[in-house]
């Protein structure tokens, strides 16, 4: 059912952002959902349509926001076996395999994690966050595997979103890159912005975009007469920008093995072990896995940390490299 919220700005709320103000006085919808409603021209301040979520309010302003009925037909259930690591009344943590996208988008509106969640939990409301991304707090790329947390209600969604915005979430990834890094442990700090050459890609910049910080640590280096030089890394994120690790590795000149966007052209390597060569050529994904996810539970107020082992297709590559390195 379509709903309308009407509020008056009282003393103490002036100079507050309008999205923050609405969220403060109505906890039924998340700030993310409010922001999207405003961008879709559903907000009026003093009977004038406002499209800026950051608009500052004045005393006695009349706020009116229209909440359209969720587009239930826009999300079709997808019969997909979710790998659920943890679940309670407020959230669930899933271990996403490579090959499936998180939410509907151009070219794929049906076979996504969101559609699988709708199929799994019929009570999952499209009003949690964005109606096409219900419950989604953060994302990992289609061809990246690993841990993702999903919110089941707006309170949890808002709380977890704030933790991500404050960069207090623990996120570590394991990856395999071409070459090796010097120093072997370090910190990459740049801005990340959309590529001017390809709008589907991002690029590192020293002057524009959003700040991105990646901390890396070398776990193992593989190099001998039968293997190209490859490095197994752990990366911990301080920020969560689109394609952040992939962009930062490419920025250093050490792209991730199997990355189809941010890569150096793969050339046949002389004297490479045949089995290893077939394993590397056979990867239909980037060698990037979200291994660790930690956050404070919004209701229990206790720290929760989850870990996930490398999936089989990545694990066999590492085992083969270790065998060749001995």
Q: pLDDT tens digit string along 99-132?
A: 999 998 877 888 999 999 999 987 776 667 667 7
Of residues 69 and 305, which shows the higher confidence score? 305
Statement: residue 60 has pLDDT above 60: yes
Query: What mean pLDDT value characterizes the chain?
Result: 90
Token match 């919110």: residue? 151
Q: Which two tokens stand for residue 65?
A: 């926001």
Q: Residue 52's pLDDT band (boundaries 50, 70, 90)?
A: very high
Determine what percent of the chain is predicted with pLDDT higher than 90: 69
The 10s digit of each residue's pLDDT in 135-144 is 899 999 999 9
HSE (side-chain half, CA atoms, 13 Å) at 41: 2
Neighbours of 56 (CB within 10 A): 13
The per-residue pLDDT for 105 is 82
Mean pLDDT of 43-59: 93
The per-residue pLDDT for 148 is 98
Residue in 205, 180, 183 with CA at minimum distance from that of residue 194: 205
Mean pLDDT of 207-236: 95
The per-residue pLDDT for 269 is 74
Measure the CA–CA gap between 111 and 78, rounded to whole angstroms: 6
The per-residue pLDDT for 145 is 98
Measure the CA–CA gap between 59 and 78, rounded to whole angstroms: 48
Mean pLDDT of 32-58: 91
Mean pLDDT of 176-181: 95
The per-residue pLDDT for 278 is 93
Q: Which two tokens stand for residue 172?
A: 């570590």
Q: Residue 7's pLDDT band (boundaries 50, 70, 90)?
A: very high
Contact 20, 12 (CB under 8 A): no
Statement: residue 72 has pLDDT above 70: no
Catalytic residue among 19, 61, 130, 141: 141
Statement: residue 266 has pLDDT above 60: no
Least confident of 186-195, 197-206, 257-266: 257-266
Residue in 286, 318, 128 with CA at minimum distance from that of residue 222: 318
Is 121 an annotated catalytic residue? no
Q: Residue 1's pLDDT band (boundaries 50, 70, 90)?
A: low
Of residues 48 and 263, which shows the higher confidence score? 48
Statement: residue 222 has pLDDT above 80: yes
Statement: residue 76 has pLDDT above 70: yes
Measure the CA–CA gap between 66 and 53, rounded to whole angstroms: 14
The per-residue pLDDT for 127 is 64
The per-residue pLDDT for 126 is 64
Statement: residue 71 has pLDDT above 70: no
Least confident of 16-20, 98-102, 127-131, 295-299: 127-131
């Amino acid at each position: 059912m379509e709903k309308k919220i009407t509020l008056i700005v009282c003393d103490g709320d002036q100079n507050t952002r309008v999205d923050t103000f609405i969220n403060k006085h109505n906890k039924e919808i998340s700030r993310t959902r409010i922001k999207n409603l405003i961008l879709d021209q559903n907000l009026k301040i003093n009977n004038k349509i406002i499209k800026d979520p950051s608009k500052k309010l004045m005393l006695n302003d009349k706020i009116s926001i229209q909440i359209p009925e969720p587009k239930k037909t826009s999300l079709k259930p997808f019969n997909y076996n979710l790998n659920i690591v943890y679940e309670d009344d407020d959230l669930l943590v899933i271990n996403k395999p490579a090959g499936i996208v998180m939410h509907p988008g151009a070219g794929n509106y049906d076979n996504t994690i969101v559609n699988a969640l709708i199929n799994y939990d019929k009570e999952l409301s499209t009003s949690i966050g964005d109606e096409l991304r219900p419950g989604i707090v953060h994302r990992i790329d289609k061809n990246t595997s690993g841990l993702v947390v999903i919110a089941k209600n707006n309170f949890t969604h808002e709380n977890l979103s704030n933790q991500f915005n404050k960069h207090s979430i623990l996120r570590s990834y394991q990856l395999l890159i071409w070459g090796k890094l010097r120093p072997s442990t370090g910190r990459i700090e740049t801005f990340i912005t959309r590529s001017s050459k390809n709008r589907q890609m991002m690029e590192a910049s020293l002057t524009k975009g959003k700040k991105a910080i990646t901390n890396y640590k070398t776990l193992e280096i593989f190099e001998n007469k039968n293997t190209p030089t490859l490095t197994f890394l752990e990366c911990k994120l301080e920020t969560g920008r689109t394609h952040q690790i992939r962009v930062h590795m490419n920025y250093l000149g050490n792209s991730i093995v199997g990355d189809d966007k941010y890569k150096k052209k793969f050339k046949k390597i002389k004297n490479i072990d045949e089995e290893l060569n077939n394993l590397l050529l056979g990867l239909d994904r980037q060698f990037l896995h979200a291994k660790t996810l930690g956050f404070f539970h919004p209701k229990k107020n206790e720290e929760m940390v989850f870990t996930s082992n490398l999936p089989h297709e990545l694990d066999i590559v590492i085992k083969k490299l270790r065998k060749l390195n001995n």
